[in-house]
Amino acid sequence: MSDGIVSNAYSKATAASLRCVRGNGEGEAPSSPAVAPPDQYTVVFPGEVRDNYTGLIWQQATSSTTMSRADAKRSCATLDLNGHAFRLPSIRELSTRVDEAQVAPSIHRAMLPDTKYGARSDNGYWAAEAAARDAQVAWALNFDDGFTGFNAGASGSWNHFTAAWVRCVR
């Protein structure tokens, strides 16, 4: 949780920090599978799904092709879906789509059915933010397992990509 974003890519073979909480719920045991929240999504318009926990409304479909981050921002800004204005999501908003109860893809499959995934860096989804110290480097999230990262690698490395998938939000 160094950046406040979680991922289910945790190895039990290594030590980890622990933060205890107290509440009325039972929670999930460390070795128990994650459980998706009940009634998380509602279709509010054709092609639009509301996350009932965050209040965000998502484009149900993934972009038909991968594209540059600049093109992704333009695509969301000009999306004509039910007369609503959309935008490219922040990395934190995008990370709320990760369903820790699922892997490959780690997302609600019925409500967001065409989500692209795979262990390669070219299967990420763009977020709106650039990296803090380099405006040419941008965040993305891979729904294979919810991994977040940015395209700062040299050509040929795992974290080098110039195009990614897009799902817009409002």
Domain coordinates in residue numbering, the chain? 41-150
DSSP state of 123: G
Question: Which is nearest to 8 in space by CA: 138, 143, 109?
Answer: 143
Residue 134: in which H helix or E strand, if any? strand 134-142
User: Hey, is 57 helix, strand or coil?
Assistant: strand
Which residue is it, tokens 């204005």?
A: 85
Residue 115's Cβ-count burial label (10 Å; 0-12, 13-18, 19+) is: buried
Residue 154 Ramachandran class (φ > 0 left, ψ -120 to 50 alpha, else beta): beta
The pLDDT, as a whole number, for residue 66 is: 95
Cα four-point dihedral sign 10, 13, 15, 18:
positive
pLDDT, tens digit, 9 for 90 and up, residues 66-119: 999 999 999 999 999 999 999 999 999 999 999 888 889 888 999 999 999 887
Question: What is the rounded distance in angstroms from the CA atom of residue 42 to the CA atom of residue 30?
Answer: 30
pLDDT, tens digit, 9 for 90 and up, residues 44-79: 999 999 999 999 999 999 999 999 999 999 999 999
Cα distances (angstroms) measured from residue 123 to each of 30, 88, 111? 29, 17, 19
pLDDT, tens digit, 9 for 90 and up, residues 134-164: 777 889 999 888 888 878 777 777 777 889 9
Instruction: Please say whether the beta carbons of 99 and 36 come within 8 A.
Output: yes
> Does the pLDDT value for residue 29 go beyond 80?
no
Strand order in the sheet with 147-150: 124-131, 134-142, 147-150
**Tokens linked to 75:** 């695509």
**Tokens linked to 165:** 């998938």
Q: What is the pTM of this model?
A: 0.79
